[in-house]
């Protein structure tokens, strides 16, 4: 909780300090709770659970064309933030040495510190933390009373700062505590998105915003270091992170 408060304070300071840099720029802050879930292209690996996560973002909108911002309808959107507890759960129909991170602890390593073979039907849970950079295009209507409606197509770049995991449905190998799995998760992830919402002007130059987004993963999230089956075949499936996100915030 203290980490979230500190990040929020930093974002508030940045937004209020630089909100007036340019006549074509708006800065803002948003809270972004989300539900994330994983998908795999391997039919033997099934989605089996979702994560409820939370994000904080300092948003920047760079409006195109001449005139005042109130007359502009198109913008490049970007920003900087952090996302907590992204990920989800996957059940592996075929067992194997599915995680190979050198940070694993018992019961996921044996007496020689080698990763253990997880049985068929094991469920792996991923909990990821990342710095997040959105880049997209935003389109909004002219003012209707105090309201504007908008649509947005954002791409998200996630730079993972922490990857934790747990194992379920694996008998003696179930993990009572989260394990560090940085070595089994790639450091960078990219997703596309689509969403829309509303801006409500509360005073000149200040608006409350609310929107709903879907994000679909593009890159394989996992490093595919593991093996599956008794023949130790390389586990090379593509795993992506998808999410449904609520955006609530303010623009200056």
Domains annotated for the chain, with CATH where assigned, are: 2-251 (2.40.160.20)
Q: How confident is the model at residue 50 (pLDDT cuts 50, 70, 90)?
A: very high
- Residue carrying the six token digits 């073979």: 117
Statement: residue 116 has pLDDT above 50:
yes
The two tokens of residue 25 are 């720029």
What lies within 8 Å, CB to CB, of 54 at 6+ separation is: 4, 31, 32, 33, 34, 83, 84, 85
185-195 per-position pLDDT tens digit: 999 999 999 99
Q: Residue 11: what pLDDT?
A: 46
Measured in residues, the chain has a length of 252
Q: Is the pLDDT of residue 19 over 90?
A: no
Q: What is the pLDDT of residues 208-229, one digit of tens each?
A: 999 999 999 999 999 999 999 9
Task: Please give the model's pTM, rounded to 2 decimal places.
Answer: 0.88
pLDDT in tens, 66-111: 778 888 999 999 999 999 999 999 999 999 999 999 999 999 999 9
| CA 77/CA 48 separation, integer angstroms | 34
């Amino acid at each position: 909780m203290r980490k979230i408060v500190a990040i929020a304070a930093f974002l508030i300071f940045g937004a209020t300090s630089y909100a007036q840099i340019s006549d074509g720029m708006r800065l803002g802050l948003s809270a972004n709770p989300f539900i994330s879930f994983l998908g795999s292209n391997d039919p033997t690996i099934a989605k089996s659970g979702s994560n409820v996560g939370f994000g904080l973002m300092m948003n920047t909108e760079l409006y195109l064309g001449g005139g005042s911002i109130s007359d502009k309808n198109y913008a490049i959107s970007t920003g900087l933030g952090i996302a907590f507890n992204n990920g989800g759960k996957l059940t592996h129909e075929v067992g194997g040495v599915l995680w190979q991170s050198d940070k694993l602890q018992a019961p996921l390593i044996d007496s020689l510190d080698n990763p253990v073979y997880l049985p068929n039907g094991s469920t792996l849970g991923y909990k990821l933390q990342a710095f997040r950079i959105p880049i997209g295009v935003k389109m909004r209507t002219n003012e209707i009373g105090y309201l504007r409606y908008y649509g947005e197509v954002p791409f998200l770049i996630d730079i993972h700062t922490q990857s934790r995991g747990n194992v379920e449905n694996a008998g003696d190998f179930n993990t009572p505590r989260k394990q560090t799995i940085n070595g089994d998760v790639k450091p960078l992830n990219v997703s596309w998105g689509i969403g829309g919402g509303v801006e409500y002007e509360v005073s000149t130059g200040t608006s409350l915003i609310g929107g709903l987004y879907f994000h679909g993963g593009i890159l394989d999230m996992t490093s595919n270091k593991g093996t599956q089956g008794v023949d130790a075949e390389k586990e090379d499936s593509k795993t992506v992170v998808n999410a449904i996100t609520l955006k609530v915030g303010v623009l200056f």
